[in-house]
Amino acid sequence: MKRREFLKAAAITGIASTIKLSDGMDLMAQKVSKTSTGCDLVAVMGGEPAIMFRKAIAEFGGMGRFVKKGYKVTVKPNIGWDRKPELAGNTNPALVAEIVRECLRAGASEVIVFDHTCDEWRKCYTNSGIEAAAKAAGAKVMSGNEETYYREIALPRAKKLKTAKVHTAILDSDVWINVPILKNHGGAKMTIAMKNHMGIVWDRGAFHSNDLQQSIADICTIKKPAVLHVVDAYRVLKANGPQGRSANDVVNPKALFMSTDIVAVDTAATKFFNQIEKMPLESVKHIAHAAELRLGTMDLDKIKVKRINLKS
């Protein structure tokens, strides 16, 4: 399918029914599974954010696999920009809310939602819709705008970024869940699961002054990694990221990727994005850097991938 045809189809139907990932990942080739078969990565298309999440987490055995009774959980979406949901600058609020609800259903004693925003944090939290949605679902919402919220940690496995001040919501949690949106980024090329880690640290400037691509991989060596990565691709900012300029920069493929492997999920999401707007995997160097640090695999043929098409 030509890009122009894809965009027309996406605009009319809300789902690109012929999108494919390379390495044999045809997202539309399999019907919804009725039973959990075990997998390493789930790719879902054709539904609303909460429904796609429920289908994906079921394939992993349910949220109870990751969240135990009494756990203190942190959910880390992208809330970096003063943008409304339809502009795809931030994670979809409906997805964040559903993850909060699932954590509480699994027995979490507390769920915290936060991000270290780029724009003024109050505007980001309000206009993204995430603060209201998270609170309505039962979460506690924290800001990341004060340095006192952060503690310095060592990153012994890192190549460039040897220390970082990380938000206490991450460090003091029992588990945390990484919930980025899939979008274009002018500097890092892509914002997905790895890049979303820049929102857990205080000093983002250290990344930009110290080999951005390697530093993004380095922060993912944190001794408390996310237990789950949920990539929101319901709306995708295909150009002019990370903020976008207008609705013309946004497409609506209605997709979601989930994995415990940060390298695999960013690989799959980048391959998916490349079918929307050209972005070769090799251009997103932090993914390969993370693979070199043994944080996961870029070889999707070597893992169990589940593909769910809710429109089948």
Confidence check: pLDDT of 18 > 80: no
Confidence check: pLDDT of 105 > 70: yes
Residue pointed to by tokens 């964040």: 96
CATH at residue 130:
3.40.50
pTM of the model: 0.88
Res. 163 pLDDT band, cuts 50 70 90: very high
Q: Point out which residues pair with 307 in neighbouring strands.
A: 43
Confidence check: pLDDT of 90 > 60: yes
Residues in the chain: 312
Please name which of 126, 115, 132, 133 lies closest in space to residue 181, comparing C-alpha atoms: 115
> Which carries the bigger pLDDT value, residue 303 or residue 11?
303
What tokens were used for 132?
A: 């209201």
Query: Residue 182 corresponds to which amino acid?
Result: L
Per-residue model confidence (pLDDT) at position 312: 65
Give the pLDDT mean for 14-28: 39
Which residue range forms the structural domain that includes residue 176? Answer: 3-309
Give the span between the Cα atoms of 130 and 113, in whole angstroms: 9
Strand-strand pairing, 110-113 and 72-77: parallel
What end-to-end distance do the CA atoms of the chain give, in Å? 19
Give the pLDDT mean for 46-70: 97
Percent of the chain with pLDDT over 70: 88
Confidence check: pLDDT of 3 > 50: no
Per-residue model confidence (pLDDT) at position 204: 85
Per-residue model confidence (pLDDT) at position 25: 42
Q: Give all strands (DSSP E) within 114-216, no chain letters.
A: 140-141, 150-154, 163-167, 175-179, 181-185, 189-191
Query: Residue 22 corresponds to which amino acid?
Result: S
Res. 187 pLDDT band, cuts 50 70 90: confident
Res. 12 pLDDT band, cuts 50 70 90: very low
> Which carries the bigger pLDDT value, residue 20 or residue 143?
143
What tokens were used for 109?
A: 């004693």
Considering its fold, how many domains does the chain have in total?
Answer: 1
Give the span between the Cα atoms of 31 and 310, in whole angstroms: 7
Give the pLDDT mean for 183-193: 89
Per-residue model confidence (pLDDT) at position 63: 98
Q: Under a CB-based contact definition with an 8 Å cutoff, are residues 140 and 110 in contact? A: yes
Give the span between the Cα atoms of 234 and 217, in whole angstroms: 25
Lowest mean pLDDT among 15-19, 65-69, 140-144: 15-19
Strand-strand pairing, 175-179 and 140-141: unpaired
Integer angstrom CA distances of residue 32 from 18, 99, 240? 17, 20, 34
Q: Is 302 exposed, middle or buried (0-12, 13-18, 19+ CB in 10 A)?
A: exposed
Confidence check: pLDDT of 36 > 70: no
Per-residue model confidence (pLDDT) at position 311: 85
φ, ψ dihedrals at 167, nearest 5°: -60, 140
Q: Which residues contact 294 (CB under 8 A, 6 or more apart)?
A: none
Per-residue model confidence (pLDDT) at position 11: 37
Confidence check: pLDDT of 71 > 70: yes
φ, ψ dihedrals at 257, nearest 5°: -125, 140
Give the span between the Cα atoms of 66 and 120, in whole angstroms: 32
Residue pointed to by tokens 């691709």: 233
Give the pLDDT mean for 71-80: 98
Q: Note the pLDDT tens digit of each residue in 231-263.
A: 999 999 998 878 888 889 999 999 999 999 999
**Residue by residue, what is the 3-state secondary structure of 15-75?**
CCCCCCCCCCCCCCCCCCCCCCCCCCEEEEECCCHHHHHHHHHHHCCCHHHCCCCCCEEEE
Is the peptide bond between 253 and the residue preceding it cis, with omega within 30 degrees of 0?
no
